[in-house]
Structures are given as structure tokens and as C-alpha cells.
Chains A and B, each alone.
Chain A
Amino acid sequence: MVKAYLGVDVGSVSTNMVVMDENEQVLESLYIRTMGQPVKAVQSGLKTLGERIGNSVTIEGVGTTGSARTLTAVLVGADAVKNEITAHAVAVSRKVPGAQTIIEIGGQDSKIIIMRDGIVIDFAMNTVCAAGTGSFLDQQAVRLNIPIEDFGELALKAKTPVRIAGRCAVFAESDMIHKQQLGHSTEDIIAGLCEALVRNYLNNVGKGKEILAPIVFQGGVAANIGIKAAFEKALKQELTIPEHYDVMGAVGCCYLGREAARNKPTGFKGWEAAQFHFRPTSFECKGCPNLCEVIQIFENDVLVARWGDRCGKWSNVNVKVG
């Protein structure tokens, strides 16, 4: 049996899982579509990983990140629950030493992380607009009836990329439709879209940030060579895409899990947690005008976690709902 660490990153679009050994080698990685069902996604991931390498490794530490990190932590028994910025930065500082800028574009979040000497000195995330993120690209690919995997290839074939508004996903879409009706080629429209999204990212998330090389580009959208090319054109720099670009958050979680479980036994529930019966319920607390929506998680009919309350009075699972 080899000692190993498990990292889980559950985002809006994908659920990523990585098992890394003590020598920081990635043994297995999974990229599953979340499909709005984080519990199911995590459990199916656990099942697959358990079948593939469950008999050859013992998990010594677990970390979770992503927008469903708290929920996931309960499902797998995590030792570290961290935000995505930290997870991505940790992964890059180990996998691409010397990196000074990280561009990360995921399903609904896009972020820029500025690092100097291996530590984060500044970062920004999109707050109110999701234009330019993976789910928008997904949508447009479906609308144009092109597999998302071919999106980038097509963009590179463009001769004269069209101009498209990148400020807002809805406006970008109507611009695209209009350009289509005028008769522009699909390639030119896709390339134009890539450039618009990059422009939006740099003007919005990247505004006022000192973007220095080496620049690392990661997240699901890094698979899109059209976007990569558009970034390189705008920044006049080459971008580094790390080997595990699509699961870097989960890689970072392996390191964070290892760190957190250094001097104590791991809370990992085992691969068999894939079979556990998890049932989330919710209620509206009427204790004050905040009207918090409180979530409760039952594991095999035992209440194991509760959150969503701003004041924290329900966070103790022993409190009875009256």
C-alpha cells in the first residue's frame, strides 16, 4: 500500500478529483460534470477512484475546495476545506515554481492571482458578471452545434475575427446572432468571441493588475486553444499550461490535505462513502429578519452537518429544530 492524498474540487460545471502520492506524483485524476448534483458527482467519483486504485493506496489526508467545498467536506471527511484561490496558488507554486501570474477560468468563476516569490500578493475574482467563463462558452457551443472540444481549433482557422461585445454574456450572444445573420463565417465568429472574452477578462478581472511572466493558464477553459491564442495576442506573452491544468484546484487540495493531516489521523470516510445515503434538506429560519435558508445534511439518516445560518445558531447539530 502506498501513502496518498485525495483532493476534491467541486465547482459549478465540473467535479475534479486527484489522488497524489508522497512524491507529489498524480496517480489518478478525474474530471466529471457536476450537472447541478454535487452529491451524486462526488459519490460517483469516489466509486470510480476506489475501483481504480482503492486497493493499492491508503489515503492519509483529504482536502476540498470549490463552491461546494463545505458539502463535499462532509461527504468525504475532509481534513482541509479551503477557498479556490489558495488551492490554485498552492498547486502552481509546487508544480510551476517561479510563476508570477495565474489566469484561471472555470465554469462560472474567473480569477487572476498575482504571485511573487511563491506567495500570493494580490488576486481578483469576477463578482457580478460571468461573461467569459466556461459555462457561457458551453452554451454558445451548443447553440452553434459545435462540440466544445472543437471550439478552439475552429477559432484558429479564422481569417478576420469579428468584433463582439464582451461586456455582458447576453449582449455578446445577441451580437453573435446578428453577425451570423449578416453572413460571417462560423470560424470568424468563434475567434471574435474568444477575443471578446479575453478582452472582458483583462478589463474586468485583470484591471489594474501587474501581469508579469511566467503566466500560467489553467481551469477547464485552458483546454480551448482559441482562448489561449487570444490571450497570447493580447498580452504579447506566451502562456504556460500546466500538465494537470483542468484539475489544479484538486491538486492544490492534495497538498492542503497533507498539510492539515500531518500530525493527526485523517478524517477520510473511505471509498465506501460512495455507497452512503446522503440526504440534504432545508428550512427557513424565522428567528430574525434575515430569514436564512438553513441546509441540513443527513448521512444514513443521522444529521451530520448544518449550515447557511448567518448567526451560527444552527451550526451545532445538537440543536433541535423546534
Chain B
Amino acid sequence: MLISFPHMGKLHLALTRTLKLLDIPYLIPPLPGPAALQLGQELAPEGSCLPFCLVLGNMREALNSGADTLVMIGGSGPCRFGYFVYLAEKLLVDAGYKFRVLIIDKGHLWQDYSYLKRGGGFSALALIAAAKHGWQLVVCDEAISALKREYLPRALDPVKLNDYFTECSEELTRTESVAKILQIRAKIENQIKKTPLLPASSVLRIGLVGDIYTLLEPYANHEIEDFLQRSGVCVYKEMAVSRWIPNILLPWRKGGYTRELLSYAYPYLQSSVGGFGLESVANTRKMGESCVDGIIQLFPLGCMPEIVAQSAINRICQKEHLPVLSITMDQHDSMTGFKTRLEAFLEMLNRQKKNRANAIN
């Protein structure tokens, strides 16, 4: 048994740590890129969205390098994304691949466990402990990334702070216990409190919303976070692996989660529209009220939930005077058009900010 998985953001951290602790052999596929896109497009149905092509291609990359078991999140239903794994499995089988799929979703966990146990010979408790450990790793890594996005552009000495972040991320990969992971996170939070920062109002702050894959996978969003960071913009993003997965796996979390989203989205959107549409609308409102100067919505071409969300976000934009830029991502390889739109958006926000400051003085 050689386990592998398609990438999505930092999910691989949790999976590899769990597998390593259980002594199950695994393989990390290359990060999604043009090669994965091409492999995916060869098998994907015409009109499939960019995330599906990339995930499918990434699965093929894993199988081509010798993996015989693929792990993937199910989540049956949020959008096509929930059916990715089922559709991908059929397409891959038709293409002649021989492998087994382990789905992380309600109703599949017991099956997955018995399959893994046959290969490994560990107890259910050991699996739960290992999964918790891996889980903490991704939670902590995402928390560090969020701090970096939000504070690095404000640091008086960004080089020093960046070095510190890099050092901590490396330390994190070497940790051996949950306690150590939590310790690193606490250490960084403390360090931020001690770091001299520019006032929050002196820099541009932008919130990112959109579907989960586009927001989490740098290749799918043309590395927008790096671009914004280089332009000195603080980036806020509510979407994260660690915030989404508990809500699909733990039934008792779901109700509260949806209610919270609805409380923000109301009156612009009153129910879930599939995919991450409700999240996009709720997070636009949430971040717009609390911390950001503008919102960028990113979504793949043909993503129906995000198209519905776009109309609601447009109304928020007008009624609450919150600048929003919506960008449809597809297989464009050239960055020029993408950068033009981002630069223009930043320029507009900067000029508005300057004008407001002048009006106050």
C-alpha cells in the first residue's frame, strides 16, 4: 500500500503527519501546476471547472508515480466539489488506472479505518490520536499564515519578521508532539505582540472570498497573496482547511456554522446556494464591517454558487460602499490581465483612501 492524495492548500501537512505517525507509506505528489492541468484536462469532461481539472491531474500525477491508494475529502453535496471524488474515480478507472479511494466524509470513516488497519495493524485509538496530531499541525500552520498575511506588511522591519515566520514554519515541520505545535503557535502570537507595527489604518487591507480550492491553492489563484503582500497589502481570508473540514465531518457543528453565516449574509442572501456561495457573501459582509478597505472575489469559470454570490456581493458593494473586484479564473497562463485588474483595484483603493484622509484634514 502506497497512499497519496491531491493537494488542496496545506491539507497535505495533516495527511502526511497522520500517515507518518501510523507508519503507513505515503507519497506527496508535485504541487498543482501546468503539468497537473494538462493531465486533468485530458480526462475531464468539457466544461469542467479549473479546480476539478487540477485535482484530477494531481491524482494522475500521484498514480503515475506509483501510488495505489488515494485519500480525498468527500463532503457530498456542497457543489460539484463534493462529487469530485466520485467522478474522478470513475474517470480514472475508465482510463485504466488501478487504485483504491479512501473518502474522508461522514459514513466512510469506518470503511477507511478497516482498510487502513488491514495494512498497518494499529488500534482505532492510535488512528484518532494520529489524526488529531496531524490536524493540529494544519490548524497551527494556517494560523501562522493568517498572522503573516495580516501583520507582515505592517511590520517596521518586515525582513526580520519574515525570517522569524520562516524559522517557525521550519520548526513546525520538525515537531514531534501536539504540545510542541501549540507551543510554537503561542510563541508567534507573543512575538507579534512585541513587534513594532505601523497602525492598521496606514496600509491597505483586502479581504479574499470565493470558492475553497481557488482561495487555498496558489496555482489556481495566480499566487494572489504573494502579489498583494509584495504590494504592501494586508490580506484577510476567512476560508481555511481548518475552518471548513470540522463543519463537514462533525454533524453537531453544522447548525451553528450555518446560522452564523446566515446572520452575516442576511438580508443579501437568505439560504445556502450550494458550494461556498453563502460563505462568500457572509465573509464579504463580515470582513467589510470589521477590517478591510476592499474585497476581491475569485472563482473558477462556470462556478454557479459563486455567480449567485456575486450578485449579492454586488449589492453589498453598492449599499454599504464597499469596493469589490470579482475575477473569474480560468486556464489563462498569462498574468498580464490578472495583474492589470489587481493593480487598478489597489490604485483605486489607495486614491480613495488618500481622498478620505484629505477630507478629514
- List A residues at the B interface (Cβ < 8 Å): 67, 82-86, 109, 117, 119-125, 127-128, 207-208, 210, 288-291, 293, 310-312
Is the CB–CB distance between B219 and A208 below 8 Å?
Answer: no
Tell me, in angstroms, the Cα distance from A289 to B223 when the chains sit together: 13
CB of B195 within 8 A of chain A?
no
Tell me, in angstroms, the Cα distance from A291 to B348 when the chains sit together: 32
Is the CB–CB distance between A128 and B347 below 8 Å?
Answer: no
Classify the interface of chain B: helix, strand, loop or mixed: helix
CB of B290 within 8 A of chain A?
no
**Given A83-B347, A84-B344, A291-B33, CB of A119 within 8 Å of CB of B328:** no
**Given A121-B323, A207-B314, CB of A83 within 8 Å of CB of B33:** no
CB of B352 within 8 A of chain A?
yes
Known: A117-B355, A289-B32. 10 other contacts (CB 8 A): A82-B347, A83-B340, A83-B347, A119-B348, A123-B348, A210-B318, A288-B31, A289-B31, A289-B219, A293-B333
Q: Which residues of B contact A208 (CB under 8 A)?
A: 311, 314-315, 317-318
User: Would you mind naming 27 contact pairs between A and B with Cβ atoms under 8 Å apart?
Assistant: A67-B340, A83-B344, A84-B344, A85-B340, A85-B344, A85-B348, A86-B344, A86-B348, A109-B337, A119-B351, A120-B348, A120-B351, A121-B323, A122-B317, A123-B345, A124-B326, A125-B344, A127-B327, A127-B328, A128-B328, A208-B311, A208-B315, A289-B33, A289-B34, A290-B219, A293-B333, A310-B222
- List B residues at the A interface (Cβ < 8 Å): 30-36, 219, 222-223, 226, 230, 301, 311, 314-315, 317-318, 323, 326-328, 330, 333, 335-337, 339-341, 343-345, 347-348, 351-352, 355
Tell me, in angstroms, the Cα distance from A192 to B163 when the chains sit together: 61
Q: Which residues of B contact A310 (CB under 8 A)?
A: 222-223, 226, 335
**Given A291-B33, A291-B35, A310-B223, CB of A121 within 8 Å of CB of B348:** yes
Q: Which residues of A contact B318 (CB under 8 A)?
A: 208, 210
Is the CB–CB distance between A121 and B344 below 8 Å?
Answer: no
Is the CB–CB distance between B330 and A128 below 8 Å?
Answer: yes
Q: Which residues of A contact B35 (CB under 8 A)?
A: 289, 291
Is the CB–CB distance between B323 and A122 below 8 Å?
Answer: yes
Which residue from A85, A119, A124, A293 sits with its C-beta under 8 Å from B355?
A: A119
**Whole-angstrom distance from the CB of B54 to the nearest CB of chain A?**
11
Q: Which residues of B contact A119 (CB under 8 A)?
A: 348, 351-352, 355
Q: Which residues of A contact B345 (CB under 8 A)?
A: 123
**Whole-angstrom distance from the CB of B332 to the nearest CB of chain A?**
8
Is the CB–CB distance between B336 and A67 below 8 Å?
Answer: yes
Residue of A nearest to B311 (CB): A208
Residue of B nearest to A88 (CB): B344
Tell me, in angstroms, the Cα distance from A133 to B314 when the chains sit together: 24
Tell me, in angstroms, the Cα distance from A278 to B317 when the chains sit together: 45
Residue among A86, A291, A293 with max Cβ neighbours from chain B (10 Å): A86
Which residue from A121, A128, A288 sits with its C-beta under 8 Å from B352?
A: A121
Is the CB–CB distance between B344 and A291 below 8 Å?
Answer: no
Tell me, in angstroms, the Cα distance from A291 to B30 when the chains sit together: 12
Tell me, in angstroms, the Cα distance from A278 to B336 when the chains sit together: 21
Q: Which residues of B contact A312 (CB under 8 A)?
A: 230
Tell me, in angstroms, the Cα distance from A32 to B51 when the chains sit together: 40
Q: Which residues of B contact A67 (CB under 8 A)?
A: 336-337, 340
Q: Which residues of A contact B351 (CB under 8 A)?
A: 119-120
Residue of A nearest to B321 (CB): A121
Is the CB–CB distance between B347 and A86 below 8 Å?
Answer: yes
**Given A120-B351, A208-B314, A291-B34, CB of A128 within 8 Å of CB of B301:** yes
